[in-house]
Amino acid sequence: MFKFRQDFIRFAVQQKVLCFGEFQTKAGRLSPYFFNAGLFNDGASLRSLSQFYAQAILASGISFDMLFGPAYKGIPLVAGTAIALAEQGRNVPYCYNRKEAKDHGEGGTTVGAKLQGKVLIIDDVISAGTSVRESIELISSAGAEPCGVVIALDRMERGQGELSAVQEVQHNYNIPVVSIATLEDLLGYLQDEEELVQNLHATQLYRDKYGVTL
């Protein structure tokens, strides 16, 4: 297991992006933890988050030519990740989409580099998979090739069927989904943290009830 996975979980807890308690998910489930990537909302935390994205991308071995960030959450993520990759010696172009097409100036539905080659999508999480589907359609219609998705945390839980949202994306579009960390990484972290170990049992029960088999 890559060390950055545990480091990311620790970082998310310190930033209070990852919290423990009782939270209701969109599916109506009571989850013992909550992850809100929108709380990486200052310069220092965004810089660190982007470095974690870059590490996960480089560790994955996925071949890509450029990055794409779905509006709106993906915009700072894709820009920050491009910077972090450049600092690691991998300088690649990036772009993001507009929610509405612009009919003046440069026009179009995307901002930044032209979509071409193998395009890696940068997002925070995959819930219903809507932003990923829209991104894939946009990239494909431009004549480029969606080659994968990178997210911060994979909750590893079932959607409407037996597959998780991440597995559905992999199955439906035949592309890999890479996460900085997963629910398994969170369980491993909780085992080693005395101050948080009381959350381990509830999180494991949630995993047992709603989790997917990899």
pLDDT in tens, 126-140: 877 788 999 999 999
Record the pTM.
0.93
103: pLDDT confidence band, cut at 50, 70 and 90? low
Higher pLDDT, 155 or 2: 155
pLDDT greater than 60 at residue 53? yes
Residue range of the domain that includes 75: 3-210
So what's the pLDDT on residue 82? 98
Please name which of 18, 54, 51, 22 lies closest in space to residue 37, comparing C-alpha atoms.
18
CA 55 to mean position of chain CA atoms: 13
If you average pLDDT over every residue of the chain, what do you get? 92
CATH number of the domain encompassing residue 165? 3.40.50.2020
For 147-203, the pLDDT digits (tens) are 999 999 999 999 878 999 999 999 999 999 999 999 999 999 999 888 888 999 999
Provide the number of structural domains found in the chain.
Answer: 1
Q: Which of 5-9's residues contact partners 24+ apart within 8 Å by CB, and which partners?
A: 5/180, 5/181, 5/182, 5/185, 6/181, 6/185, 6/188, 6/189, 7/52, 8/52, 8/152, 8/180, 8/181, 8/185, 9/181, 9/185, 9/186, 9/189
Q: What is the pLDDT of residue 105?
A: 47
Residue type for position 90: R
pLDDT confidence of residue 195:
85
Minimal CA–CA distance to 119: which of 50, 174, 67, 58?
67
| Residue 106 banded pLDDT, cuts 50, 70, 90 | low
Do the Cβ atoms of 111 and 67 come closer than 8 Å? no
Active site residues per annotation: 102, 104
